[in-house]
Amino acid sequence: MTILDEDKVLQDLLSTILMVAMEDGKITDDELAILKQVKLDVKTLRIKIENLAPSDTDIELLNNFKKDILKKAYAISQKDRKITQDERNLINSLIKLLMN
């Protein structure tokens, strides 16, 4: 996958989860925190992709990225010890997007 393709995939991910968060017409504080964390993680991944040595495996990096982004989203949603349906929808969307 070229860097331009990766950029498109990452932008599609961000756009899709933003639409899921806005489905009910409002974004809760926890949803916003998840969105911000995902955006930060995408930026971090982008930097890592740019700095990959030719011998590095993209697959391992992407698999670790997927796990990390889901763990962080879940941790954010659990901070208040309550996962709302909106948060659950956002996390489920992330799972679907990242596992394809």
Total domains, the chain: 1
CB crowding 7-33: b at 16 or more within 10 Å, else e: eeebeebeeebeebbeeeeebeebbeb
For 10-38, how does the pLDDT look when each residue is reduced to its tens digit (9 = 90+)? 788 888 899 999 999 999 999 999 999 98
pLDDT at 60: 76
The structure's pTM equals 0.73
**Percent of all residues in the chain with a pLDDT value above 90, rounded to a whole number:** 30
Domain range holding 27?
3-99
